[in-house]
Amino acid sequence: MELAAERVSVRFGGLVANDDVSLAIAPGEVLGLIGPNGAGKTTLVNILSGFQRPHAGAIRLAGTEMTGRKPGAFARAGIVRSFQAVRLFRGLTVSENVEVGLVGRGLGRAEARRRALALLADFDLLHRAAQPASALSYGEERRAGLARALALEPRFLLLDEPAAGLAAAEAEELKRAILSIRERHGCGILVIEHNMALVMSLCDRIHVLGGGRTIASGRPDEIRADPAVRTAYLGSTAA
């Protein structure tokens, strides 16, 4: 029942963005994915969500080979990702942004709307429901992105820097939201995050990338103590 990348590699020209990376997310687990800028974190999420086909290696969902399928197929299989830049449907209303996932799963529009409003209420966005998504503030945009992702009923949720640019209080709120998502939906969650305090307190396990390779993987306390991780963050990547 896990989502796994098995020895995946991706090259962009001469640049190896992911080099023989293996990682697995179990249901109900919050896995942190960290590493310096350009380490290949987003690329790995792209691979795990079908947006990037690995040049080597495979993606499996509960043992089923997913490699080479389209992003839509990943989404329909319950692998849902957010974007570093959120990418809301800016010309649609906030409610419609959430309805898209619900309607795509086969719900009628009225039922989709009811559920969308419930989801928006969870993220304290109900008062914004009828407005265009382009009207949202940055923090609201991030929350709307989460609501939109949840509308897809993820089995695995891949979040690319969900707390980027959020104030401390908002980040704390986001952490609670992520934990309650796990609680309520039981999904496996992968979080890319640069805020170390947040990652350490949020995640059950952490996977560290540097220069496209796995540097370390383990519990937060193990990662905190790992010398290779410290080196990576000081800049001299172990590539």
Partner 1 sequence: MSTRGSAIFDGGRIVPLLILIAVVLALAGAAEFAPTVVQRRITQGLINLVAVVGLYVFVGNSGVLSFGNVAFMAIGAYVSALLTMPAAAKGVFLPDLPAFLAATEWPGLAGALAGGAAAALVALVAGFPLMRLSGISASIATFAILVVSYVVLGNWTSVTGGQNSLMGLPIYVGLWTAAGWAVAAIVVAFLHQESRSGLLLRASREDEVAAAASGVHMVSHRLAAFVISAFVSGIAGVLLAHFLGTVRVETFYLDLTFLIIAMLVIGGMRSLTGAVAGAIVITLLTELMRLAEIGVTVGDMTIAAPGGLGDALLALLMLLIILFRPNGIAGGREISWPFGPATPTTETQPRKPQ
Ligand X SMILES: Nc1ncnc2c1ncn2[C@@H]1O[C@H](COP(=O)(O)OP(=O)(O)OP(=O)(O)O)[C@@H](O)[C@H]1O
The reply to whether 39 sits near ligand X by the rule CB under 6 A is: yes
Piece of the chain touching ligand X by CB under 6 A; list 30-38, 107-115, 119-127, 226-234: 30-38
The reply to whether 49 sits near Mg ion by the rule CB under 5 A is: no
Which one of 55, 105, 184, 224 is in contact with partner 1 (CB under 8 A)?
105
Please give the residue whose beta carbon sits closest to Mg ion in the complex: 42
* Sign, CA torsion 62/67/73/75: positive
Piece of the chain touching ligand X by CB under 6 A; list 37-45, 60-68, 101-109, 123-131: 37-45
User: How big, in percent rounded to 5, are the helix, strand and coil portions of the chain?
Assistant: 40, 25, 35
- What is the rounded distance in angstroms from the CA atom of residue 30 to the CA atom of residue 163? 15
The reply to whether 12 sits near ligand X by the rule CB under 6 A is: yes
3-state secondary structure of 98: helix
- What is the rounded distance in angstroms from the CA atom of residue 59 to the CA atom of residue 70? 12
Distance of closest approach, residue 139 Cβ to partner 1, in angstroms:
15
Which one of 14, 63, 91, 235 is in contact with partner 1 (CB under 8 A)?
91
The reply to whether 211 sits near partner 1 by the rule CB under 8 A is: no
- What is the rounded distance in angstroms from the CA atom of residue 146 to the CA atom of residue 230? 31
The reply to whether 234 sits near partner 1 by the rule CB under 8 A is: no
Piece of the chain touching Mg ion by CB under 5 A; list 19-27, 42-50, 129-137, 146-154: 42-50
Asked whether 50 and 79 are in contact (CB, 8 A), the reply is yes
- Encode burial over 24-49: b for 16+ CB neighbours within 10 A, e otherwise: bbebebbbbbbbbeebbbbbbbbbbb
Which one of 25, 32, 41, 129 is in contact with ligand X (CB under 6 A)?
41
Residues that bind ligand X (CB under 6 A): 12, 15, 17, 35, 37-43, 84
